[in-house]
């Protein structure tokens, strides 16, 4: 499993195309302090 920031679209493409990862979910976290 791997976690990466939403803005890193080039990295995501690399993981999907070259490393055979599947994008299977989004992670949500509360911004409430």
Instruction: Give the span between the Cα atoms of 16 and 33, in whole angstroms.
Output: 34
Query: How does pLDDT run along the chain (33 residues), one tens digit per residue?
Result: 888 888 888 999 999 999 999 989 888 889 997
Contact of 18 with 5, CB cutoff 8 Å: no
pTM above 0.75, yes or no: no
Distance, in Å, from the CA atom of 33 to the CA atom of 23, rounded to the nearest integer, reads 29
């Amino acid at each position: 499993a791997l976690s990466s920031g939403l803005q890193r679209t080039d990295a995501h493409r690399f993981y999907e195309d070259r490393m055979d990862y599947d994008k299977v979910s989004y992670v949500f976290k509360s911004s409430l302090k």
